[in-house]
Amino acid sequence: MKIKIEVSAEERDEASVAGEGLDEVLRVVASNPKSSQQMLDAVSASKSRCVRMEAAGNPNASLETLDKLINDEEAEVRAALTQHPDAIQFLWKLVSDRSALVRYCVALNPTFPEHVYQVLSRDENERVARRARRTLSDIRTRDSLVVKFMDSVKHKHDYRAAS
């Protein structure tokens, strides 16, 4: 899908304002979870880093669009992709990204398997490593609480059945 938008302006200032307005419109389209995959693919080619970031995080973006954005030159765009529901498809690319920001964002997201945080806990960047250890600890605490809760529910059920 190609989108052609033409902006008409008589003065340079008007063109600048129109360009900023267009970027804002594209950012809104890119952030809208109801935007079509074709539309998201089209706006992901924007020159605006903010537009590409919004497209990367949009849950409706296709794997093809994400595949383009995982190679974006801007670390912020790749970091935004870590929040996408399908980020796991690109997980090892994200974990080994050259940018500490991207790796930090992976470590911040508690939805990945534990071994991801174990790898990142040994990251060369201490902030990334510390964040990964904290996320891993949080996950283990949460899982422990769930197990304890389930055991207490089972125990109550077993007690009632015995009565």
The set of residues, in sequence order, having a beta carbon less than 8 Å from that of 154 and lying 6+ positions away, is none
**Percentage helix, strand, coil, to 5, in the chain?**
70, 0, 30
The enclosing H or E element of 145 equals helix 126-162
Residue 1, in any domain of the structure: no
What CATH number should be reported for the domain holding residue 119? 1.25.10
Q: Is 3 a domain residue?
A: no
Token representation of residue 60: 């409706």
The pTM assigned to this predicted structure is 0.76
Is 6 domain-assigned? no
Confidence band, pLDDT 50/70/90 cuts, at residue 22 = confident
**Structural domain count, the chain:** 1
54 part of a folded domain: yes
Contact by Cβ (8 Å): 116, 131: no
Cα(14)–Cα(72) distance, integer angstroms: 30
Query: Is residue 4, in this structure, part of any structural domain at all?
Result: no
For residue 7, being part of any structural domain is answered with no
Residue 141 sits in which domain range?
A: 12-162
Residue 73 belongs to some domain of the structure: yes
Q: pLDDT per residue over 25-76, tens digit each?
A: 999 999 999 999 999 999 999 999 999 999 999 999 999 999 999 999 999 9
Q: Please write the tens of the pLDDT for every residue from 100-151.
A: 999 999 999 999 999 999 999 999 999 999 999 999 999 988 866 666 567 6
Q: Is residue 93 part of a domain?
A: yes
Q: Classify the phi-psi angles of 7: left when phi > 0, otherwise alpha if psi is within -120 to 50, otherwise beta.
A: beta
The SS3 of residue 71 is coil
What is the dihedral angle through the alpha carbons of 14, 17, 18, 19, rounded to the nearest 10 degrees? Answer: 120
